[in-house]
A and B are shown apart, each in its own frame.
Chain A
Amino acid sequence: MKRLFGLLFTLSVLAITALAFAADPAVAPAVSPAPAALAAFLRDSVYPLLTAALLGLLAIPLRWLGNRFKIDYLMQRNNAIEQLAIQGISLAQEIAAKRIGSMPALTGIEKLDIAVSHVLQAMPAVSQDQAERIIQAMLAQIPGVGATKEQVVSRDGLIGISGTLQPIVGTTTASESGFVRLPLLAIMLLISLCCLAGCATTSPATPTQNDSPQVLAGKSLLAVKSTIVTAAAATDRMCTTGAMAADKCAMARTAYGQSRLAYDSAVDAYLLMIQGRDPAAFAASLQRVQSLAANLLQLAGGVN
């Protein structure tokens, strides 16, 4: 999942930049007095910084959202456990029925053991205690079985059992509950970013059509700043409201600090490049940005 989001945000960054440049079909390297330096600046400074900032700042809340709202996974897991529990109960009943007349009857504990073993064989990650509680809950929904006998707790959604759908107690903790589809959230964000870039650059009235590559690169840097500050403010709000764990907030604060340094270095590199003076200082600034961007990526877990 982490790699998927890394890929999605990298693609979104590339899409924004590509849209910005695609909006000006007349852009040609010949317009720039230093096309190689500009290309190097974009490739080595703007892109890594933007990618690192997005991964560093957005991956943290998204990871938190992923942990908090993994509803699809939990629902599928619960359904699978329930199906296994029913199978286990049926298996125990069948074995007990076969024993009638020829062997000692199965005790309740033995039946429970058979059903629990069936669940644990298929899903070893489920604890024995959890499996027992699920099976006992299932017993209450099957007529003639368990301590509730004919007083059936009715529910829907499972083959052979009627009634209304009720959550299974004990299989989902409060911190795991939720209702947002994370992939959908990421896709919506990606579409929003692309639409935003499209609105910013493709309108016939926009002067972007006449911007030189240098000006577009500078504007992209300003956009980087907006992105970092927006993401950081959103993360800060989650942290101050206690919605994020303290260790994640500490990581976010470090990433924000490094983003500030990296942005300042990128601006310095851009200004040095535009003013065309001191190539050594320009190269040093680029090196500093690359180093900080690499740190940010490592902090965000965006690279292995």
Chain B
Amino acid sequence: MSPAQIAQLAIILAPLVKDLVVEGSKLIATFRDDLSQDDLNKALELSKSTTWPELTFGLHGAT
């Protein structure tokens, strides 16, 4: 594998690895949080899709 290919691979994988680390950290924190059932219910209510990012997938127009 040439240095140029390694650089190209790094450019492709870097954002994916960053997302994996950030979301993985959140996931670990969630599992380790000593949440009561009530707190968990509230967290689930707040996690509903209205709070999710609006993604266009490069296709502008109706979602």
Q: B56 — which chain A residues lie within 8 A by C-beta?
A: 236, 239-240, 253
B24-63 residues at the A interface, CB under 8 angstroms: 24, 26-28, 30-35, 37, 40-41, 43-45, 47-49, 52-53, 55-59, 63
Task: State which size class the interface on B falls in.
Answer: 35 or more
Stretch of A2-10, A35-43, A168-176, A259-267 that contacts chain B = A259-267
Query: Is the beta-carbon distance between A234 and B59 smaller than 8 angstroms?
Result: no
- Contact partner, A203, options B30, B32, B34, B45, Cβ 8 Å: B32
Nearest neighbor of B34 in chain A, beta-carbon distance: A207
- CA–CA, A214 to B37, complex, Å? 8
Given that A218-B40, A222-B43, A253-B63 are known contacts, is A196 also in contact with B58, CB under 8 Å in the complex?
no
Q: A180 — which chain B residues lie within 8 A by C-beta?
A: 9
How many A-B pairs have beta carbons closer than 8 Å: the answer is 125
- Number of A residues with CB within 8 Å of any CB on chain B: 54
Query: Is the beta-carbon distance between A240 and B32 smaller than 8 angstroms?
Result: no
Query: A229 contacts the other chain (Cβ, under 8 Å)?
Result: yes
Q: Which B residues fall within an 8 A CB radius of A?
A: 1, 5, 8-9, 15-16, 19-20, 23-24, 26-28, 30-35, 37, 40-41, 43-45, 47-49, 52-53, 55-59, 63
9 further contact pairs, Cβ within 8 A, besides A200-B27, A246-B58, A253-B55: A20-B31, A218-B44, A235-B57, A239-B58, A240-B57, A244-B58, A253-B57, A260-B49, A263-B49
18 contacts between A and B (CB under 8 A): A20-B31, A179-B8, A179-B9, A200-B28, A200-B30, A200-B32, A207-B34, A219-B40, A221-B44, A221-B47, A223-B31, A225-B47, A234-B16, A240-B56, A244-B58, A256-B55, A257-B63, A271-B44
